[in-house]
Amino acid sequence: MKENRNNRIYLIGLGAIGCNYAAKLYDRFPESIKIIAKKKRIETFKHSGVIINNKTYNFNYISPGEKHDPADLLIIAVKYPDLRQAITDIKGFIGKNTVIISLLNGILSEEIIGQEIGMQHMLYAYSTASVMRDQSCATGKGYMHTGKIVFGEKVNSDMSARVNNVKAIFSEARIPYEIPADMIRSQWKKFMMNTGINQASAILKASANMFQKEGPHRELAIMAAKEVVKISQRCGINLNQADIEDFITTINALNPAFKTSMLQDVEAGRKTEVENFSGAVRKLGKKYSVVTPVNETMYYLLSAIEQSQDRLP
């Protein structure tokens, strides 16, 4: 990667999370940031305008299959159901030194991308951003809380050159970030939290206030999260009770009206990230011989909800 202002920064996934960081990058590097999208989608963006936190953005767009210089930094901000297509769409924009950051929830996306593109391109990452929306931010409805991008190599006791380069870009674009010493454990902790509250809230159709007090809502989320803790202890990540207590503290700090992204997806009839949460827990449970009855049940409940929505007229 080159000096900050000369980097080619490509982003795919102009939904809520993607809009948030695309806006920040465009405000600082308008000539460097380009959005990867299919031509029909680009036409929609140009026609409707991309409104992010009440400001209209006229991004530069590129389409899969077009000839362009490879990205220096490529940010993947799609949802899990769209990841496979996104990998296909970015292949023409990868060069020898391209660094890829995936902002998807969960612990699967880096390995999935790396299998197709090459793990040498990958940094590990996730976002703590949140949004309350009627639709995608790209259609002008919704407000994004920036949150931060947590990223790095697997271990960051001594930061690599590429981590320092991405850090410099985020600093200049005023994107909050964190670089944990143990990136994988940090990623698992976020995975544990999402597996708990995202799924419980989507199944129970409950906002944060229902999880901010003792009772069945909170207990269901904790039971799902504890299965992740058990698996983590089998595979050397070693989450523990203190992480569960941090999870509860995080829930208690939310706006009581807050709705998780998975609940918003269910309410809007969109595909959820169930494969990324309980789907992943089920597979890991079998791999490490940990029973996961709560996540097994959540998986089938959320899959049934999706199937019912697919059949609505």
Lowest mean pLDDT, pick from 44-48, 61-65, 236-240, 274-278: 44-48
What CATH number is given to the structural domain containing 203?
Answer: 1.10.1040.10
Q: What is the pTM of this model?
A: 0.90
CATH number at residue 119: 3.40.50.720
pLDDT digits (tens, 9 = 90+) for 73-91: 999 999 999 999 999 999 9
Residue with the two structure tokens 């993607």: 18
Q: Do 163 and 188 reside in the same domain of the chain? A: no
At 253 the pLDDT is 93
Q: Do 194 and 162 lie in a common domain?
A: no
Is residue 143's pLDDT more than 50?
Answer: no
Q: Looking at the structure, tell me whether residues 129 and 254 fall in a common domain.
A: no
Q: How many domains does the chain have?
A: 2
- 87-90 long-range CB contacts below 8 Å, 24 or more apart? 87/112, 87/113, 87/116, 87/117, 88/64, 89/12, 89/36, 89/38, 89/64, 90/10, 90/12, 90/36, 90/64, 90/117
Q: Are 248 and 172 part of one and the same domain?
A: no
If you ran DSSP here, which 8-state letter would residue 256 be given? T
pLDDT score of 218: 98
Are 82 and 158 in a shared domain? yes
Do 130 and 17 share a structural domain? yes
| pLDDT > 70? residue 310 | no
Which one is predicted more confidently, 84 or 139? 84
* Distance of alpha carbon 91 from alpha carbon 68, whole angstroms: 11
Residue that is last in its domain, among 157, 181, 205: 181
Q: What is the pLDDT of residue 51?
A: 87
Judged against a pLDDT cut of 60, whether residue 136 lies above it is answered with no
Q: Which domain holds residue 113?
A: 4-181
One domain for residues 302 and 215: yes
Question: Quick one: pLDDT at residue 132?
Answer: 56
Q: Of the residues 134, 160, 181, which one is the last residue of a structural domain?
A: 181
Question: pLDDT-derived band of residue 5, with 50, 70 and 90 as boundaries?
Answer: low
3-state secondary structure of 212: coil
What's the pLDDT at 135?
Answer: 44
Is there a single domain that holds both residue 267 and residue 190?
yes
Which pLDDT score is estimated for 47? 85
Residues 139 and 14 in one domain: yes
Q: How many CB atoms lie within 10 A of CB 205?
A: 12
Confidence of residue 187 (pLDDT cuts 50, 70, 90): very high
Identify whether residues 155 and 211 lie together within a single domain: no
130 with 244, same domain: the answer is no
Residue 139 has pLDDT above 90, yes or no: no
DSSP string computed for 130-165:
EEE-SS-GGGT--EEE---EEEE-SB-SS--HHHHH
122 and 88 co-located in one domain: yes
Q: Which of 228-237, 266-275, 283-292 shows the lowest mean pLDDT across its residues?
A: 266-275
Across 266-282, average pLDDT: 94
Angle at 296 between CA 295 and CA 297, to 5 degrees: 90
Where a domain ends, among 119, 149, 181? Answer: 181
48-81: per-residue pLDDT in tens? 888 888 889 999 999 999 999 999 999 999 999 9
> What was the pLDDT predicted at 227?
98
